[in-house]
């Protein structure tokens, strides 16, 4: 998914949001229940962009024009190195309707969880401003 990768690498979160389907389902690496909706998912992704340091995509897996893609990345949260993968599914119109993130190792996932928990109030406020999204 070239457009998503380009938007993330350019730190253009408005462009990332524009690629999301209205009913996108985001599955976090550190929360059991998925999040639903463009506004909430975009707010979460903005927080991730604030939390991750030295973020870079390293490999993309998926056929050009296909509906399923995996984008492998590395980043840092504080002093913890993280390796991970964004799994994207596109709907019939080419928008992202499923985004699942996996990260490793456990110490990196724990650092990510703590950093994202510190962003919770801001995420909730941004999602309320932009529209309605719900967990579960």
Alpha helices in 30-98 (DSSP H): 38-51
Q: How confident is the model at residue 136 (pLDDT cuts 50, 70, 90)?
A: very low
Write down the mean pLDDT value for the chain. 93
Residue 85 CB neighbour total at 10 angstroms: 18
How many percent of the chain have pLDDT more than 90? Answer: 81
The pLDDT of residue 107 is 95
Structural domains of the chain ordered from first start: 2-128 (3.10.450.50)
Q: Where residue 37 falls among pLDDT bands split at 50, 70, 90? A: very high
Q: Assess whether pLDDT exceeds 60 at residue 82.
A: yes
**Sequential DSSP letters for 42-76:** HHHHHHHHHH-EEEEEEEEES-TT-SEEEEEEEEE
**DSSP classification of residue 34:** P
Mean pLDDT throughout 39-51? 95
- Strands 96-104 and 20-27 come out as parallel
């Amino acid at each position: 998914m070239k457009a998503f990768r380009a938007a993330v690498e350019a730190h253009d979160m408005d462009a990332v949001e524009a690629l999301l389907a209205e009913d996108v389902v985001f599955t976090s690496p550190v929360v059991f229940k998925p999040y639903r909706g463009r506004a909430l998912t975009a707010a979460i992704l903005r927080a991730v962009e604030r939390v991750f340091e030295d973020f870079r995509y390293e490999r993309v897996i998926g056929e050009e024009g296909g509906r399923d893609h995996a984008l492998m990345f590395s980043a840092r949260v504080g002093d913890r190195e993280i390796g991970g993968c964004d799994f994207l599914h596109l709907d019939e119109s080419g928008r992202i309707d499923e985004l699942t993130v996996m990260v490793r190792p456990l110490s990196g996932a724990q650092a990510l969880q703590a950093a994202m928990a510190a962003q919770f109030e801001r995420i909730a406020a941004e999602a309320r401003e932009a529209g309605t999204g719900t967990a579960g």
